[in-house]
Amino acid sequence: MFNFEKLETWQKAIDFADLVYATARHFPDPERFALTNQLRRAAVSISSNLAEGGSRSSRPDFARFVKIAAGSLFEVVSQSFIAHRQRFPSETAFARLYSATGEQSRMLSGLRRSVRAK
């Protein structure tokens, strides 16, 4: 097991990506190579940056990758709102995704504070 796999934030980021994939699966076919792809890539980037940051030898480097992961999360938020305004996800699916972004954001903020404090 790699060190980053032990991070609850990374584990939740994997769960979050699953949720994004499940939500985007119901978008219309013309969006498959547009918003769906963009949304999925941003969601995958969150856990990927945590994994890459976990491989760095310094805390400032790791903190920088956590910050990049948060940026990817905010991309998901923005893209989710665009999808919502286009009526792609149901109200329930959008609410579930938006709630999950809040949880992921809190976890990333906590991890970043923890890494910078040590």
Q: In this predicted structure, what is the pLDDT of residue 117?
A: 84
2 neighbors 51 (Cβ within 8 angstroms): yes
Residue 118 pLDDT greater than 80, yes or no: no
Both structure tokens of 15: 């769960």
How far apart are the C-alpha atoms of 21 and 37, rounded to whole Å?
A: 10
Give the tens place of pLDDT for each residue, 60-77.
Answer: 999 999 999 999 999 999
10 Å CB burial of residue 105 (0-12, 13-18, 19+) is: middle
Where exactly are the structural domains of the chain? Answer: 3-117
Q: In this predicted structure, what is the pLDDT of residue 91?
A: 96
Domain 3-117 has CATH 1.20.1440.60: yes
Q: In this predicted structure, what is the pLDDT of residue 1?
A: 83
Give the tens place of pLDDT for each residue, 44-103.
Answer: 999 999 999 999 889 999 999 999 999 999 999 999 999 999 999 999 999 999 999 999
Which is nearest to 10 in space by CA: 74, 104, 100?
104
Model confidence band, residue 11 (pLDDT cutoffs 50, 70, 90): very high
